Amino acid sequence: MVTPAYKAPFPVEKARRYLEPGPIVLVSSAWQGECNVMTLGWHTVMAFSPSLVGCLISSGNHSFELVRQSRECVINLPTTALTDTVIGIGNSSGAEIDKFARFGLTTEPADRVGAPRIRECHAHFECRLVDDSLVDRYDFFIWEIIAAHVAETPAYPETLHYTGDGIFMVTGEVIDRRQQFLPQML
């Protein structure tokens, strides 16, 4: 398992750079001495500033109560170096095991929330809950990213994009089309 080097603070309003492509993420949470981590593929950027992200965290997940009660989480971005770990986390429950221990993940204190960062991930987005009005109906949480840290290399990490049925697509080629964009669209 590759542990990324130092992560630099990253502007929260640019979180779309990592989240808009739609990667599987690892959401870590903590509440009353208990920590957990879950895989999550149902998320979307919702605003640049404040930096908002909406996530679907099913009430059937052990993490549900931890994030709902603490009103905080960290969205960690794994790369393909963590593929087996991502699958293991998605196929086990924090109600039964300590996933950090089982999968050899290193927790680190976050700057601004109680949930831990996961050192082996490429980036960390520390979040606080700003709107729970759709939690009861859809399990949909709207978070504000209040701190972000990102490994400086690689610039475009290989991320995992889930299709269901145990099958992932991996991001590969990066295509730069800045020249085709209007200046105000960049």
What is the contact surface with a copy of itself in residues (CB under 8 A)? Answer: 14, 16-18, 20-23, 41-47, 52, 54-56, 83-84, 87-88, 90-91, 131, 133-134, 137-138, 140, 142, 156, 159, 161-182, 185-186
Distance in angstroms (rounded) separating the CA atoms of residues 79 and 154: 10
Q: Which residues contact 30 (CB under 8 A, 6 or more apart)?
A: 36, 66, 70, 72, 114, 115, 116
Long-range contacts, stretch 40-43, CB < 8 angstroms, 24+ apart: 40/75, 41/161, 41/162, 43/19, 43/75
Residue 44 or 107: the one with the smaller Cβ distance to a copy of itself is 44
Residue 30 or 123: the one with the smaller Cβ distance to a copy of itself is 123
The CA distances from residue 105 to 88, 91, 100, in Å, are 12, 16, 5
Question: Closest approach of Cβ 124 to a copy of itself, in Å?
Answer: 18
Residue 33 or 167: the one with the smaller Cβ distance to a copy of itself is 167
Question: Closest approach of Cβ 158 to a copy of itself, in Å?
Answer: 9
Residue 107 or 158: the one with the smaller Cβ distance to a copy of itself is 158
